[in-house]
Amino acid sequence: MDPGVIRALGTVLVVMVTIGYVLAGLATVGVLVPVLWWPGLVAASTVGSLAVLLAFLAPTFFIGFAIDAALLALVLASTWTPAATLGVRGASG
């Protein structure tokens, strides 16, 4: 595949991941984005981040994999959510 195409796809993916994390951050505090969207936004952004790290693999990306693993563990295995902290109805935690 052409390196220019790979770079363009990588750039698009990084922009999408960044937007997803910004929206997840806003959802964490319940500003502009519904708090109940937080787990989905974090999970989707983290999967996108993992895709970027795998596509452009480098030894220095180890910390990125560790952060992504921690975020996925928080979303998938934890009972904590910002919705529960903020007292949103229908939220578990």
Q: What is the pLDDT of residues 40-83, one digit of tens each?
A: 999 999 999 999 999 888 888 899 999 999 999 999 987 777 86
Residue 91 above 90 pLDDT?
Answer: no
Could you tell me how far CA 38 lies from the centroid of its own chain? 9
Residue 32 in contact with residue 83, Cβ under 8 Å? no
- Distance, in Å, from the CA atom of 89 to the CA atom of 52, rounded to the nearest integer, reads 35
**How much of the chain, in percent, has pLDDT values that exceed 70?**
88
The band of 86, judged by pLDDT with boundaries at 50, 70 and 90, is low
How many angstroms separate the CA atoms of 24 and 85, rounded?
15
pTM attached to this predicted model: 0.82
Averaged confidence pLDDT in the chain: 88
Res 46: pLDDT = 97
Quote the radius of gyration of the chain (alpha carbons, Å).
Answer: 15
